[in-house]
Amino acid sequence: MNKLDVLEAIIIEDDSCQVELLKQVIRRNCPNVAVKTVAKCKKGALKILKQGKFDIIFLDVNLGGDCAFELFEHFPEHLKEKELIVISSEKDYALEAFSYAATDYILKPIIAEDVIKAVEKAQSNLELKRSYTRKDEKPVAADPLKIIAISCLNEVKIIKVDEILYLKSDGNYTVFHTSNGEMILSSKNLGSYENLLQHNNFFRTHHSYLVNMNFVSNVQKKDGVYLEIVDQQFLPVSKRRIDSFYQYLRIK
- The CATH number of the domain holding residue 244 is 2.40.50.1020
Please check whether residues 30 and 118 belong to one and the same domain: yes
Q: What's this model's pTM, rounded to 2 decimal places? A: 0.56
Asked, for residue 23, whether it belongs to a domain, the answer is: yes
More confident site: 190 or 10: 10
Q: How confident is the model at residue 133 (pLDDT cuts 50, 70, 90)?
A: low
The one-character DSSP state at 230 is G
Q: How confident is the model at residue 16 (pLDDT cuts 50, 70, 90)?
A: very high
Q: Is the pLDDT of residue 231 over 90?
A: no
179-207 in b/e form (b: 16+ CB < 10 A) is eeeeeeebeebbbebbebbbebbbbbbbb
Crossing angle (nearest 10°) for helices 112-132 and 16-29: 70
Average pLDDT on 142-155 reads 82
Please check whether residues 13 and 110 belong to one and the same domain: yes
High-pLDDT (> 70) share of the chain, %: 89
Q: Is the pLDDT of residue 210 over 70?
A: yes
Please check whether residues 82 and 165 belong to one and the same domain: no
DSSP secondary structure, 31-57, as one string: TTEEEEEEE-SHHHHHHHHHH---SEE
165 Ramachandran zone, left/alpha/beta (phi>0; psi -120 to 50): alpha
Whole domain around residue 53: which residue ranges? 7-132
Please check whether residues 94 and 161 belong to one and the same domain: no
Please check whether residues 117 and 11 belong to one and the same domain: yes
The CATH number of the domain holding residue 39 is 3.40.50.2300
pLDDT tens for each residue of 108-125: 999 999 999 999 989 888
pLDDT at 68: 84
CA angle 150, 104, 97 (to 5 degrees): 110
Asked, for residue 76, whether it belongs to a domain, the answer is: yes
Structurally, how many domains does the chain consist of? 2
d(Cα 183, Cα 175) in Å, to the nearest integer? 6
Task: Give φ, ψ of 137 to 5 degrees.
Answer: -120, 135
pLDDT at 135: 45
pLDDT at 75: 63
Asked, for residue 77, whether it belongs to a domain, the answer is: yes
Asked, for residue 200, whether it belongs to a domain, the answer is: yes
Please check whether residues 22 and 45 belong to one and the same domain: yes
Asked, for residue 158, whether it belongs to a domain, the answer is: yes
Task: Give φ, ψ of 115 to 5 degrees.
Answer: -65, -45
Which residue type does 146 have? K
| In contact, 61 and 69? CB cutoff 8 Å | yes
d(Cα 13, Cα 18) in Å, to the nearest integer? 7
Last residue of a domain, one of 80, 104, 132: 132
DSSP secondary structure, 181-211, as one string: S-EEEESS-HHHHHHHTTTTTEEEEETTEEE
Please check whether residues 36 and 96 belong to one and the same domain: yes
Asked, for residue 241, whether it belongs to a domain, the answer is: yes
Asked, for residue 173, whether it belongs to a domain, the answer is: yes
Please check whether residues 161 and 210 belong to one and the same domain: yes
Q: What is the mean pLDDT of the chain?
A: 86
pLDDT at 234: 94
Average pLDDT on 57-81 reads 76
Please check whether residues 28 and 100 belong to one and the same domain: yes
Please check whether residues 28 and 99 belong to one and the same domain: yes
Q: How confident is the model at residue 71 (pLDDT cuts 50, 70, 90)?
A: confident
Q: Is the pLDDT of residue 9 over 60?
A: yes
Please check whether residues 106 and 27 belong to one and the same domain: yes
Last residue of a domain, one of 73, 97, 132: 132
Last residue of a domain, one of 105, 132, 159: 132
**Secondary element (H or E) of residue 18:** helix 16-29
* Residues sharing a CB contact under 8 Å with residue 233, sequence separation 6 or more, in sequence order: 165
- What is the bridge-based pairing of β-strands 56-60 and 83-88? parallel
Asked, for residue 179, whether it belongs to a domain, the answer is: yes
Please check whether residues 87 and 162 belong to one and the same domain: no
